[in-house]
Amino acid sequence: MLLTRSDDLQILIAVVDSGSFSAAAETLNIQVAKVSRAVSKIEKQLGATLLNRTTRRIELTDEGRDFVETVRNGIKVIQQAEEEVITRGELPKGHLRVDAASPFVFHQLVPLVSEFKSLYPDIDLEITSNEGFVDLIEKRTDIAIRIGKLSDSTLHAKPLGKSLLYMVAAPSYLEKRGIPVEPWELKQHDLIGFSGVKVLNKWPFSGDNLISPSITSSNGETVRQLALQGNGIACLSGFMVNKDIEQGRLIPILEEHKLTNTGREQVSAVYYRSSSPAKKLSAFIDFIQPRLNL
């Protein structure tokens, strides 16, 4: 026997997502008193305080945070099971929210959207861009594309491939400043790096590989544009610069010194674990994987 009712649990989640009892009541089109009763009933049945209430806001307790996250995953599994039965034999449908760093969105996902929509017209695709890792539950994200090593054991990861790193500069910069042939010579050059995440300023060669950039940005596409305009040398993933290299807009340097297994090369699709991923999620991953230019 379950101690809590599913409709009460939905109300609890609405309170957490909206930030207050009144906002949850408005969202669900029910009375505030019903919202309050549902939350109190759950807490009584569990014998635990899930929410700390103040006059201004509510906050989840540690027990509440764990409970709500587990309930979310459980409801999602039930919804997916219902969807599998209802849509068996039909094309996947529903809202699919995908998150990735903006350079990956621009260079890899956007070119594939038209074909994907033509194959799956009933999937409403929402693409968000974040330069850092997002909390999939907090942002209500179905799937995220992540670059580099993964450490979150609560996520299921589907490897999409590897994207090699390249140290690149525009021809105009190299003509003016010369081409470095040894890693130590980088100290004599203008380097373009990342602000905030220091690991992104560790370039793929042995030894002292933490560079000191003279120009930084939190956005990979901005770093690419700065390099294209001849502002210095940058280290970027192939999924961003493969076409630039092919067309001569950027020149790779120090290739003979480059390491190719630093952990930053891995590209993965991640989503929360369940008994089976939703059909729309599987359709998206299976579609993009063979079409990516990593």
- Residue 79, pLDDT above cutoff 80: no
Neighbours of 50 (CB within 10 A): 22
Give yes or no for a contact between 191 and 201, defined as CB atoms under 8 angstroms apart. no
Average pLDDT, the chain: 83
- Residue 275, pLDDT above cutoff 50: no
Q: Per-residue confidence at 133, pLDDT binned at 50, 70, 90?
A: low
What pLDDT, on the 0 to 100 scale, is given for residue 29? 84
What pLDDT, on the 0 to 100 scale, is given for residue 273? 59
Closest CA to 100 of 154, 152, 139: 139
Say which range, 16-20, 45-49, 275-279, 280-284, has the weakest mean pLDDT: 275-279
Share of the chain above pLDDT 70, in %: 87
Give the C-alpha separation, 178 to 186, whole Å: 11
Mark residue 169 as left, alpha or beta (left: phi above 0; alpha: psi -120 to 50; beta: remaining).
beta
The predicted model gives 214-238 an average pLDDT of 92
Say which range, 74-78, 92-96, 194-198, 211-215, has the weakest mean pLDDT: 74-78
Closest CA to 244 of 259, 258, 226, 265: 226
What pLDDT, on the 0 to 100 scale, is given for residue 132? 59
The predicted model gives 84-100 an average pLDDT of 74
What are residue 122's DSSP bridge partners?
A: none
In degrees, rounded to 5, the angle at the alpha carbon of residue 223 between the alpha carbons of residues 217 and 228 is 150
Q: Per-residue confidence at 274, pLDDT binned at 50, 70, 90?
A: low
What pLDDT, on the 0 to 100 scale, is given for residue 4? 58
- Residue 97, pLDDT above cutoff 80: yes
Q: Which H, E and C letters describe 169-197, residue by residue?
A: ECHHHHHHHCCCCCHHHHHHCCEEEECCC
- Residue 80, pLDDT above cutoff 70: no
- Residue 175, pLDDT above cutoff 90: yes
Give the C-alpha separation, 60 to 58, whole Å: 7
Domains of the chain: 6-85 (1.10.10.10), 92-162+265-291 (3.40.190.10), 165-257 (3.40.190.10)
What pLDDT, on the 0 to 100 scale, is given for residue 88? 60
- Residue 32, pLDDT above cutoff 80: yes
Site of tokens 């549902």: 38
Closest CA to 163 of 73, 100, 99, 222: 100
What pLDDT, on the 0 to 100 scale, is given for residue 85? 64
Helical ranges in the chain per DSSP H = 6-18, 21-28, 32-46, 62-86, 102-104, 110-119, 171-177, 220-228, 238-246, 279-288
Give yes or no for a contact between 284 and 160, defined as CB atoms under 8 angstroms apart. no
Q: Per-residue confidence at 23, pLDDT binned at 50, 70, 90?
A: confident
Closest CA to 192 of 147, 244, 230: 230
Give yes or no for a contact between 94 and 126, defined as CB atoms under 8 angstroms apart. no
What are residue 124's DSSP bridge partners?
A: 95
| SS3 label, residue 221 | helix
